[in-house]
Structures are given as C-alpha cells and as structure tokens.
C-alpha cells in the first residue's frame, strides 16, 4: 500500500470509528446541550470519513465510501486503539475527545500545505469544523478540572488512563518517509511534538498533571491492523443493517 493511501485510510478509519463512538452518547448525555454536542460532532466525523474514503475511491481506485466503511474486515481497518474504546463514563469520553481532536486539528493544519491537492483542499474545509470541536473540549476540560475535588480527581484519572492510547495516534508506519519526501505530510513525529506542546500547555493551565508513559506502554498496533477486543463487536453493531442484505441499494 502506498504511503498516501495508508495515510488516508488511517485518517478515515479514525474518523468513522470515533464518530460512531461519539454517536453512542445520543439520548444519554448528562445534559441536553452535551447530548446535542456529541451527536453533532459525531456527524462531522462521519462526514470527514466519507470525504476521505471518497478520495481513496476517486484517486486510487478503491471501492466506494459505503463499501470501505461498512464492508471491510476488522483486520483491514487502520484506526488507532484510542477511538475503539467504549464510551465509558463521561470523564473518559471528554478526555478522549480533547486529546483526539487536538491531534486531528493539528494534522489538518499541516495538511493544508500538502502537495496532494485533494487532501489539501479537504483540510482547508475540515480544520474549520474541528476548531469548534477543540473549543468544546477545551472548555469542558478547564471547567471540570477546576470543579470540586471529585471532579478534578476524575479528570486526572481519565487523563492518566487515556494518555498511552492517545500516544498511539502517532504510530509511525514503514512508508512514512515517502510522505515527507513528496511533501504530502510532515510525519507523525512532527505531529506528535506539536500535539504534546499544545495539549500539555492546556492540561497544565487547567491545574492537571501531564502523564508520563514509557514507550513500551504506548498502545500501538492499530495502524498495522491489530486491534483491541472492542473493535469487532462495534463493527458488528455498526454494520448490522447493511449486513442484512449486502447488495441492497439505500
């Protein structure tokens, strides 16, 4: 698989899976505004996934977006482990949202200058949407970190748990040098360094501690098709309707 296709697949798969996970808050959010917020962000993420799958279809001869999203096996997905995890309690979902969306915003900001025109064009549109996701995440991180003692403790605990999964976003793949050489993308290491600087500043300002995790504890494997035990059950649920008749036209 070419480096560009690999990049597109992992971005699209991340967006589709986190979009589905965020949609699971619909109807059960702690307050109405949050119920609506997570539902709206889920729609955006799934829209981003569809656009990326469409680039793969149009420019690389891959199947259409519906087929790529709903008819691949677990092993064929390139999403990171972070997006696969169940929604858990709201503290975890908020922290995951905060860490993932900052990474996504920075990724798309870098991709605005990509030499691959279809991706650069999409990045210019998508980064504006993700800015609002990041604003939402930052607001709640600061508010809950500065709440009562229990609120702050729960946010720190969620951050400690989520951190090694978040670092797995930046898993380096074998063909990445090709992206750098062709000026398509600056690479995961550069992205991770930008992300660490940005999220660390916000975490510290909120009165929380930036976790420290050794490299052997980072949740790698998703980019190579090795996933958590949570992905397959989610895919089974997500594709339940299309699986009834895989040849149906919707």
Q: At 188, which CATH number?
A: 1.20.1260.10
Write down the pLDDT at residue 249.
62
Least confident of 33-42, 163-172, 184-193: 33-42
CA–CA distance from 95 to each of 12, 82, 119, 157, 205 (Å)? Answer: 21, 11, 28, 10, 15
Give yes or no for residue 245 having a pLDDT over 80. Answer: no
181: in domain? yes
What is the helix (H) or strand (E) element at residue 214, kind and residue range? none
Give yes or no for residue 133 having a pLDDT over 90. Answer: yes
Q: What pLDDT digit, counting tens, does each position of 209-235 carry?
A: 999 999 999 999 999 999 999 999 999
Write down the pLDDT at residue 29.
64
Percent of the chain with pLDDT over 70: 95
Q: Which residue range(s) make up the domain with 79? A: 3-208+218-244
Q: What pLDDT digit, counting tens, does each position of 139-180 carry?
A: 999 999 998 999 999 999 999 999 999 999 999 988 899 999
* Whole-angstrom Cα Rg for the chain: 18
249: in domain? no
Q: How confident is the model at residue 243 (pLDDT cuts 50, 70, 90)?
A: confident
What is the helix (H) or strand (E) element at residue 134, kind and residue range? helix 117-145
128: in domain? yes
Give yes or no for residue 248 having a pLDDT over 70. Answer: no
Average pLDDT on 184-193 reads 96
250: in domain? no
Q: How confident is the model at residue 47 (pLDDT cuts 50, 70, 90)?
A: very high
- Residue 146's CB is within 10 A of a number of other CB atoms, namely 13
Write down the pLDDT at residue 250.
52
pTM, entire model: 0.94
Q: Is residue 98 a contact partner of residue 137, using CB atoms and an 8 Å limit?
A: yes
Average pLDDT, the chain: 93
213: in domain? no
34: in domain? yes
Q: How confident is the model at residue 241 (pLDDT cuts 50, 70, 90)?
A: confident
How many folded domains does the chain comprise?
Answer: 1
116: in domain? yes
130: in domain? yes
Write down the pLDDT at residue 147.
87
């Amino acid at each position: 698989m070419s480096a560009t296709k690999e990049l597109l697949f992992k971005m699209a798969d991340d967006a589709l899976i986190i979009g589905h996970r965020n949609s699971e808050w619909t109807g059960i959010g702690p307050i109405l505004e949050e119920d609506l917020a997570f539902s709206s962000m889920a729609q955006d993420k799934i829209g981003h996934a569809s656009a990326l799958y469409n680039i793969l279809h149009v420019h690389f001869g891959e199947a259409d977006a519906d087929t790529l999203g709903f008819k691949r096996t677990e092993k064929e997905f390139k999403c990171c482990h972070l997006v696969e995890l169940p929604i858990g309690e709201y503290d975890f979902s908020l922290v995951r949202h905060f860490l993932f969306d900052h990474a996504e915003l920075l990724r798309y900001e870098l991709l605005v200058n990509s030499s691959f025109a279809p991706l650069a064009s999409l990045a210019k549109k998508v980064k504006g949407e993700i800015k609002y996701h990041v604003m939402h995440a930052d607001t709640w991180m600061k508010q809950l970190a500065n709440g009562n003692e229990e609120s702050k403790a729960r946010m720190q605990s969620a951050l400690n748990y989520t951190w090694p999964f978040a670092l797995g976003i930046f898993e380096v793949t074998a063909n990445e040098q090709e992206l750098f050489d062709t000026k398509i993308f600056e690479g995961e290491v550069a992205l991770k360094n930008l992300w660490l600087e940005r999220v660390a500043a916000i975490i510290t300002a909120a009165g929380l501690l930036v976790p420290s995790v050794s490299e052997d504890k980072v949740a790698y494997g998703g980019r190579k098709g090795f996933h958590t035990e949570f992905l397959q059950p989610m895919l089974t649920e997500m594709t339940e309707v299309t699986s009834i008749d895989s040849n149906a036209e919707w």
